[in-house]
Amino acid sequence: MDNTILAYLIKASVALALFHVLYMLCLKKDTFLKLRRIYFLFALFFSLLFPVITIEIPATDDAPVQIPFYWLPDMEATGWEDAEASQRTETSMQTIALALFSVVSAFYAVKFIVRLFSLVKLRAVNGSERLSTHRIVKVKDRRISPFSFFNWIFIDPEAHSPKELAEIIAHEQVHVYQYHSIDVVLSEILCICFWWNPFAWLLRKEMKLNLEYLADKGVLLSGFDSQEYQYILLQVSTKSKGMPFINNFNVSQLKKRIMMMNKKKSSLFTSIKYLLVIPVGAVLLLGNAVQATASFEDFSIAEISIATEGNQAPQKKGDAYRTVEQMPSFPGGETALYKFIYDNLKYPPAAQESGIQGRVILCFVVKSTGKISDVEIIRGVDPEMDREAVRVVQAMPAWTPGKQNGKAVDVYFTLPVVFKLTDGKKASPKSNTKDEKTVGAVGYGSNKSKDKKAFVAVEQMPSFPGGETAMYRFINDNLKYPPAARESEIQGRVTLRFVVKSTGEISDVEIIRSVDSEMDREAVRVVQAMPAWTPGKQNGKAVDVYFTLPVVYKL
């Protein structure tokens, strides 16, 4: 099932459960029948609507938004290919689940529609009499107990004495005048959509019983004798109930109705209990709260992520920091880093011949002097490819060191290097541009994408106006964590592929790795909203360049 739909169903179900529990614990024993009806309608509408409501909480100095994580502090447990296969399996299971939910809901919907047609047919084949705002339909079938549906009152006049008819019609008139059929239809629709949720059925049961309480109360207020009316209820209780989605004069909870009629009126002061819906609703709405983006100091990252826990203190691994105020940078910037690896990384011939490809993830420390040290593989692919990745990293020139509180410090850094084959014709060392913000050797026969007339890598890569920091600031300012995904604790990496045209415009944005439909759409929206870039160049000429960017949602 689509994650967004799943999140919606979970939220709505939790709300229905909370409102039902609140009713059973605090409200069921009072006599505020009209207030109780309002409560049920509020519970129904609130449960269905609140999952799509987002409350934006402005960020403050006391509750700042987390600055995105740097590089890859938390590594994936599976490879790209495994993740794609897992995604396909998950999507298939979701599709099956969605189909199952839809089929059962469709069954209940058809059943409801058939009953409506049966009701219309019953109205058409029997004579009727107009009385003020409603119509008495004279049913010639003693097996059907009296009932009403909107302004139609169905009754068999020959099955009851004139006195009984008067009290029965008075009961059904209350249903008509107070529009109880609206509540009944809404509760039926709720059960069609949430047939798998027991709280939907329990709420429907309590809603219909409360409508009978209201109708009974209306009869007694109109002047009928309580004992005689209860006696009529007992007589009619031996008949069938008619249709399940209309207002029946006879319902199975006869004992409860009689007890309610004889119950002492609740103190007006106790009606304050209904204000409990306010904290319950507030708690549910706070689950949809999204913190607005706050400003932050310049930073340098290779993956964009949205987090929820607020700024953290700099993290350290051993004697080296994991995150600092100013991250270390390769001399010349990110483009220069890609070019260095493009110029130096070689695809091992044996690995290419065997068709081996994958992502080697290395970690190392950029010392306070800018030197690279402690290079190690934290995820390998092939011994030859691992050694080649380590060799290139160790051959890097000194970096601009990272700083914390204005002082140069050792910083722990993680870098993924991708070895990827395309047509397998030639092991030409290439930068993988920004495929997942990784760089690596690619074996292929052309410098252009096979699917687009755009370069994969060029001498001068395109850049966001203002540089890398400005791009991350733009995404951080504009990317929102979809409330449904946050509520369902969905996280992961959305990888987008697009073309930076020779004019600098962004085109052909597509998802090459999905996490959730809402998260995917949000990532695409932000990329499409980007201003024109400085185009990439090959041989001094502006060209279209194929670009890949990951966006990480992390809770």
CA distance 123 to 146: 13
CA distance 132 to 149: 16
More confident residue, 288 or 395: 395
Q: Tell me: pLDDT of 308 over 70.
A: no
Judge whether 522 and 453 are in contact, CB under 8 Å. Answer: no
Q: Tell me: pLDDT of 287 over 80.
A: no
Q: Over the stretch 501-543, which tens digit does the pLDDT of each residue have? A: 999 999 988 887 788 888 888 999 999 999 999 998 888 889 8
Domains of the chain by residue range: 3-52+88-285, 304-553
Q: Over the stretch 171-195, which tens digit does the pLDDT of each residue have? A: 999 999 999 999 999 999 999 999 9
Residue 92 pLDDT class (50, 70, 90 cuts): low
Q: Tell me: pLDDT of 427 over 60.
A: no
* Mean pLDDT along residues 341-363: 83
Instruction: Specify the amino acid at residue 59.
Output: A
CA distance 385 to 356: 9
Q: Highest-confidence range of 124-138, 210-224, 299-313, 470-484, by mean pLDDT?
A: 210-224
Mean residue pLDDT across the chain: 77
- Cα separations in angstroms, 171 against 140, 153, 211: 20, 10, 11
Q: Tell me: pLDDT of 293 over 50.
A: no
More confident residue, 421 or 84: 421
Tokens read off for 432 = 């993988």
Residue 425 pLDDT class (50, 70, 90 cuts): very low
More confident residue, 309 or 135: 135
> Half-sphere exposure of 445 toward its Cβ, with a 13 Å CA cutoff?
4
- Nearest CA to 385 out of 416, 423, 409, 410 is that of 416
pTM of the prediction?
0.52
Give backbone dihedrals phi and psi of 283, rounded to 5 degrees, phi first. Answer: -60, -45
Could you write out the three-class secondary structure of 536-549? Answer: EEECCEEECEEEEE
Lowest-pLDDT choice from 79-83, 282-286, 288-292: 79-83
Q: Tell me: pLDDT of 452 over 50.
A: no
Lowest-pLDDT choice from 39-53, 305-319, 395-409, 474-488: 305-319
Residue 230 pLDDT class (50, 70, 90 cuts): confident
| SS3 (DSSP) at 48 | helix
